[in-house]
Amino acid sequence: MKFSVVVPTYNESAGIEKLVRRLTEVFQSARRDGEIVVVDDNSPDGTGAIVDGLEREGLPVRCLHRPGKMGLSSGVIDGWKFARPESEIVGAMDADFSHDERVIPAMIAAIATGGYDLAIGSRYVRGGGIENWPWRRKITSLVACWMARPLTPVRDITSGFFMVRRSALDGVELDPIGFKIGLEVVMKAKYQRYIELPYVFVDRVAGESKLNSKEIVNYLKQLGKMYRARLAR
Ligand SMILES: Nc1nc2c(ncn2[C@@H]2O[C@H](COP(=O)(O)OP(=O)(O)OP(=O)(O)O)[C@@H](O)[C@H]2O)c(=O)[nH]1
Ligand SMILES: [Mg+2]
């Protein structure tokens, strides 16, 4: 099964080339036909031009250029539309090496042959974890996940690292609010079985964080909408 991984970027020039090369190696050694779709929001640091150069070099990557900073979730959604039509699996990961690309073959196998429709990279199942985050961020993350527990049994609901059978998204309207596209997919996609596969999250090694208090408010708004929809039903 072919797949496309969407990597949204804003000012990720410090790491994007290394990430694309690493992903290419992972795809090759797992003998999987994967495409990398970078969605760049006209990063002032030239991330998009670097990706165009890698595409010209023949690496399995294409860049969707958007005119300005339009948000992580909307980037992932646009990237899925831009992904080659042959890809039956689509997914998302961050550009800052927080998400372990070596888990991707297991995610693809879970969907292609394991009978799952959704594979989520998870910090909160056995074998998963977080390295070098300050305790304050760890607690914020745990509270964020805990707040969604009445809605879903998924443990790492704020994970931005996952793969999904593309057909599960057909006709599904995803709200591009904020950072948590994974929550939208878990709550709205049409899937039967999901699996959480462990990985160890490492804090970004290069570039600057784009997570700010506005995104925390967006997450609360997003959850609020979902609780209201649940109550209405
Ligand atoms: N295209 C696009 N990408 C974005 C935008 N905001 C964030 N990103 C990307 O989304 C990914 C996640 O952003 P991060 O800044 O790493 O957010 P985080 O992981 O919650 O926080 P840190 O790891 O502490 O930086 C990265 O690849 C960013 O470059 C945006 O507005 N547009
Ligand atoms: Mg990050």
Whether 206 has a pLDDT exceeding 90, the answer reads no
Please choose from 96, 181, 201 the residue to mutate so as to test ligand 1's pocket, defined by most ligand atoms within 8 A of CB: 96
pLDDT, tens digit, 9 for 90 and up, residues 143-191? 999 999 999 999 999 999 999 999 999 999 999 998 999 999 999 999 9
pLDDT for the residue numbered 85: 98
Report which ligand 1 atom has the smallest distance to the Cα of 12. Answer: 29
Residue 182 burial (10 A CB sphere; 0-12, 13-18, 19+) = buried
pLDDT for the residue numbered 178: 86
pLDDT for the residue numbered 37: 99
Whether 205 has a pLDDT exceeding 90, the answer reads no
Angle at 74 between CA 227 and CA 197, to 5 degrees: 70
For ligand 1, say whether the CB of 39 is within 6 Å of any of its atoms: yes
pLDDT for the residue numbered 154: 98
Whether 58 has a pLDDT exceeding 90, the answer reads yes
Report which ligand 1 atom has the smallest distance to the Cα of 207. Answer: 25
For ligand 1, say whether the CB of 12 is within 6 Å of any of its atoms: yes
The average confidence (pLDDT) of the chain is 97
Confidence band, pLDDT 50/70/90 cuts, at residue 54: very high
Q: Are 199 and 177 in contact (CB under 8 A)?
A: no
Report which ligand 1 atom has the smallest distance to the Cα of 95. Answer: 27
Near ion ligand 2, which residues have CB within 5 Å?
94, 96, 98, 204
Q: Which domains does the chain have, with CATH numbers?
A: 3-232 (3.90.550.10)
For ligand 1, say whether the CB of 211 is within 6 Å of any of its atoms: yes
